[in-house]
Every structure is written in structure tokens, then in C-alpha cells.
Amino acid sequence: MPTMPTDWTPRETVVISGAAGRIGRSIVPLLRRPGRMLRLLDLEIPDAPREDYVTWHRVSIEDPDGLTAAMRGATAVVHLAGLASERPWRDILRVNIDGTHNVLEAARANGVQRVLLASSAHAVGFTPVSEAHSATVLPPRPDTYYGMSKAAVEALGSLYADRFGMSIVSARICTFDEEPGDGRTIALWLSPGDAARLVEAAVALDDGRHHVVWGVSDNAPRWLPLEAGHEIGYHPVDDAVSFRTRRDGVAPAWPDPEVLLGGSFTDAAHPVGGTW
């Protein structure tokens, strides 16, 4: 294992909130680069082996001072922390919306210009898949308080880009997993490799604008357009159909597009404000 020279100054420092979560754990190893320091934040620090160029910090996104200190000298922020499914209104407000505001404020106060915000397909969950082909960004149509909070996250991203000239990407992440599952997740899969490619595009972006892109792999024959992603330099290479065909020796059934993007989050079995 390389040893960090004592006089080493990183070329860039990328802060990742919620780094101990499913996506963070999976992509952090893919984001290591010469000259890059990864500063990882979460509520609990995992029992991981110590690695050069990677530091862990116990910081809540509900703690503005802790965040401001954690972002000192950073060049980019990848904001993954939050409640990743439906919760009561107060919790969603406190963690997902106030928490994102705290992250953006800490970034602004430290002059951090590049930010990736983890939005979700649930920000537009009540949109029929058949209407999602257009390259125009879909307006909010949340399926839950969770989805509403992601629409608010996007609105905050837009505000901070327009007001403060920050380059911000709101990624409408679809279904992240190590391997594609069945049914609709064949069309909505985001692979770890493509999630890392999306992060790389966002931390390199420097146009002072806000972009809403799909956080999805290139799953053919595609439910979702990739143009907005291409515009920021995100070029996914993984494909759920070829992955499954390679793995199983048979192509998976492509899902019926006569459904809503939010899938089961739009069901009566998933009440607004409930927990599951």
C-alpha cells in the first residue's frame, strides 16, 4: 500500500457525505486517483482499514458548523447523505431538505464550486415512463415526501448555481445496485462503475450552471434519455441487458413501459409519510 508523503498537497479534495451508505461504500474505491484526497463524512464511521488519501469524519448534515469545518480547502462535494426512502414529514424536512441546505451553505462559505446532489427518480415518480423519453427535463411530480424532498434538493441546486455561480449537478438516481435485478430495474439500473463516472463528470464540471441528469446506466433499449448526462460529460457504459445476458446466458425480459417511473412508491401500499 502506498504511503502518503508528509509534504504531500492534494491537487483536489472531494468531500463525500453519506459515504458509508450503499452507494458511497461501492463507489469510493472507484474514485481514488493520484493527487486526489477523499474526505468521507457520515454519522458513523465504518470499521474500514486505514487508507492513504482517504479520511473519515463523523459529521452530521444537520450540523452546519461541522460541515463548514469539514469542507475547508475542498474542491468538490458529492452529497449522498440523507433518508433514502419514505419517512414522516418532519424527518424528511430536517434531514433531506435542511440537510442539503446546510451542505450547500457550507460549500458556498468555503468557495467550493462543484457539487453533485443525489436526487432521485422519485422526484418525478408519478410521470408515466412513456412520457419520460423527451430530452426536456421533466418537471417535479413526486410520489412521496421523499420524492418531494428530492425535488426541493434540485430547486436548491438551481438556486445556488444561479445565485452563486456554482456548478451543480442534480442526479436523478434510478436504481443503484451492484448487479441489475428483474422487472423495471432492468431499465432503471445504475451500475457502480457508471455511478463513479457520473461523479467524475460532476467534479470536473465548471460552467456555473445547474443540470438535472438521469443517474442511470445505458440500459438498451432505454427508457430515459442520456442527452443531459452527455452534456456534462457523463457517458455511461454499462447495460443491464448485456450484463444479465452475459451472467445468465439468456436475455432478461424488457419491462413493460406502461408504468409510472416511481413504481411501487406510487402504490397505496406505500402511504405518504409512512416508513418502509
What does the block give as the cell for 196?
463513479
* Contact call for residue 236 and ligand NAD (CB under 6 A): no
Phi, then psi, of 194 in degrees rounded to 5 = -70, -35
Nearer to ligand NAD, 8 or 240 (CB): 240
Nearer to ligand NAD, 45 or 226 (CB): 45
Of 102-110, 169-177, 195-203, 248-256, the segment contacting ligand NAD by CB under 6 A is 169-177
Residue 228 to residue 22: CA distance in whole angstroms: 25
Query: According to CB under 6 A, which residues from 108 to 167 bind ligand NAD?
Result: 118, 120
First to last CA, the chain: 41
* Contact call for residue 98 and ligand NAD (CB under 6 A): no
**Annotated active-site positions, please?**
146
* Contact call for residue 95 and ligand NAD (CB under 6 A): yes
Is residue 163 helix, strand or coil? helix
Which helix (H) or strand (E) covers residue 56, if one does?
A: strand 54-58
Q: Which residue is nearest to ligand NAD (CB)?
A: 21
Nearer to ligand NAD, 12 or 62 (CB): 62
| Residue of 56, 145, 160, 176 interacting with ligand NAD (CB under 6 A) | 176
| Residue of 110, 175, 217, 266 interacting with ligand NAD (CB under 6 A) | 175
How many CB atoms are located within 10 Å of the residue 98 CB? 16
| Residue of 31, 38, 80, 241 interacting with ligand NAD (CB under 6 A) | 80
**How near is the Cβ of 167 to ligand NAD at its closest, in Å?**
19
* Contact call for residue 231 and ligand NAD (CB under 6 A): no
* Contact call for residue 238 and ligand NAD (CB under 6 A): no
Whether the CB-CB separation of 79 and 149 falls below 8 Å is answered with no
| Residue of 60, 68, 158, 242 interacting with ligand NAD (CB under 6 A) | 60
Whether the CB-CB separation of 205 and 169 falls below 8 Å is answered with yes
Q: What is the size of the binding site for ligand NAD (CB under 6 A)? A: 23
Residue 247 to residue 245: CA distance in whole angstroms: 5
Contacts by 159-163, CB closer than 8 A, 24 or more apart:
160/104, 160/107, 160/108, 160/115, 160/210, 161/208, 161/209, 161/210, 162/210
* Contact call for residue 104 and ligand NAD (CB under 6 A): no
DSSP secondary structure letter of residue 94: I
* Contact call for residue 82 and ligand NAD (CB under 6 A): yes
Spell out where 177-249 has E strands.
189-190, 210-215
* Contact call for residue 173 and ligand NAD (CB under 6 A): yes
In the structure, how many helices (H) and strands (E) does the chain have? 9, 9
| Residue of 77, 84, 156, 199 interacting with ligand NAD (CB under 6 A) | 84
List residues binding ligand NAD (CB under 6 A).
Answer: 17-18, 20-24, 42-43, 60-62, 80-82, 84, 95, 99, 118, 120, 173, 175-176
